[in-house]
């Protein structure tokens, strides 16, 4: 692995925290902007600490006791001089993934969650990500042994984050006044949301290209392909989102529809970015935008309040993204990201079955652990702020 490439990619991924902060604060109401930005800082501060102490070892520890379900060892990571370059570069890269999985959830919990409860949630939620990361990417992970395809974390990052976001949104119930009319509560700054999108777009290239773990020994070909397919998927998703907005929003360009549609297309391509074609990436991204818009409409119909659309972007689109790996993946003889060929490219149903198993197992794990985690927090200290504080706004009541 190329440590320089991995570290550079990790630094790029780290900027996604800024993107999420701007996106979420721009979509939320004006009285909660500071609180949302602070929660994104909390994701890194507390989530990063727990990932260093325990999460990395659970994901990639190779000591005695490591098995298909969990890693063991490398807790409180401090490797010796011989291995510190490899270990610390990998840790920094993976820590940026782990904190992103929690940041996804913060958007669904926005405007009605106690700050101290959220801090404790960050500490525990990092570990929810760590187990699926082991299953998918560790050499002895049980899904890795089955040759699951997930280049850049559509399962461990986006599906885990999306499931947890859905559980949190249901448990917290809607914001006060959210469904009194058919309109969203007024966003504070669509401009900030678009700025957040651009930063996330940039970060996603580091996310997907960095997951090739180098540019030497032929890996540069996979990195270049990941960049091209990521861009093409977002182009397909963006165009589709414009059409959706025009058809279903009085022939106007709706910022939320465009922004979340592009993000949905980026989630959709994440798992397969290095092992598919550009034409299939456009299809994947276009359908991803449709999946995102349909998911958001379903949540509104069910009166599940997700202020920024985290569930529709990350939950629904990550399921589609994992399925795409079973449909459009090419065989890869460089990094062995894919040991099979997807169904639509002449392969059989075996890879699609493995991808479905990954979807079911990650959803099951994330839903059960997240529910227990959030329920305990709600019972012990309470998750939701009082109505008075909610109407006043967290920027005043918490800061």
Tell me the DSSP string of 274-288. Answer: TSS-HHHHHHHHHHH
Which one of 111-120, 178-187, 326-335 scores highest in mean pLDDT?
A: 111-120
Which pLDDT does position 248 carry in this prediction? 92
Which pLDDT does position 333 carry in this prediction? 79
Name the pLDDT band for 174 (thresholds 50, 70, 90): very high
How confident is the model over 238-267, as a mean pLDDT?
96
Encode pLDDT of 2-58 as tens digits: 999 999 999 999 999 999 999 999 999 999 999 999 999 999 999 999 999 999 999
Show the domains of the chain with their CATH numbers. Answer: 3-397 (1.10.3430.10)
What residues does 62 pair with on adjacent strands? 72
How confident is the model over 180-195, as a mean pLDDT?
86
How confident is the model over 341-352, as a mean pLDDT?
95
Helices in the chain by DSSP H: which ranges?
Answer: 3-14, 16-27, 33-50, 56-60, 84-108, 115-137, 142-145, 160-172, 190-210, 219-248, 255-270, 278-301, 310, 317-328, 350-380, 387-392, 394-397
């Amino acid at each position: 692995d190329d440590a320089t490439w991995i570290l550079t990619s990790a630094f790029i991924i780290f900027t996604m925290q800024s993107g999420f902060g701007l996106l979420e604060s721009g979509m939320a109401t004006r009285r909660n902007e500071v609180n949302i930005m602070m929660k994104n800082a909390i994701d890194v501060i507390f989530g990063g600490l727990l990932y260093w102490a325990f999460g990395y070892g659970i994901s990639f520890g190779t000591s005695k006791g490591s098995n298909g379900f969990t890693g063991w060892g490398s807790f409180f990571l401090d490797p010796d001089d011989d291995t510190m370059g490899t270990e610390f570069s990998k840790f920094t890269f993976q820590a940026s993934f782990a904190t992103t999985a929690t940041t996804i959830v913060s958007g669904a919990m926005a405007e009605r969650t106690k700050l101290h409860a959220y801090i404790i949630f960050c500490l525990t939620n990092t570990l929810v990500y760590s187990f699926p990361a082991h299953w998918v990417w560790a050499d002895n992970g049980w899904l890795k042994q089955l040759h699951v395809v997930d280049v850049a974390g559509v399962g461990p990052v986006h599906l885990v984050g999306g499931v947890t976001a859905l559980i949190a949104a249901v448990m917290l119930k809607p914001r006060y006044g959210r469904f009194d009319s058919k309109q969203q509560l007024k966003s504070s700054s669509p401009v900030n949301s678009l700025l957040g999108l651009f930063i996330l777009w940039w970060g996603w290239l580091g996310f997907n290209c960095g997951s090739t773990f180098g540019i030497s020994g032929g890996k540069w070909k996979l990195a270049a392909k990941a960049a091209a397919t990521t861009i093409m998927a977002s182009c397909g998703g963006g165009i589709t989102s414009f059409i959706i907005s025009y058809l279903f929003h009085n022939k106007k360009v709706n910022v939320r529809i465009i922004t979340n549609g592009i993000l949905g297309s980026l989630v959709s391509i994440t798992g397969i970015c290095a092992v598919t074609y550009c034409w299939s990436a456009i299809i994947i991204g276009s359908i991803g935008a449709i999946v995102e818009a349909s998911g958001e409409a379903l949540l509104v119909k069910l009166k599940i309040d997700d202020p920024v659309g985290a569930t529709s972007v990350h939950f629904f689109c990550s399921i589609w993204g994992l399925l795409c790996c079973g449909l459009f993946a090419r065989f890869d003889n460089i990094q062995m990201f894919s040991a099979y060929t997807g169904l639509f490219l002449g392969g059989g149903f075996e890879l699609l079955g493995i991808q479905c198993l990954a979807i079911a197992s990650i959803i099951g794990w994330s839903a059960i652990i997240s529910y227990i985690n959030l329920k305990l927090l709600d019972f012990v200290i309470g998750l939701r702020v009082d109505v008075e504080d909610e109407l006043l706004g967290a920027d005043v009541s918490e800061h």
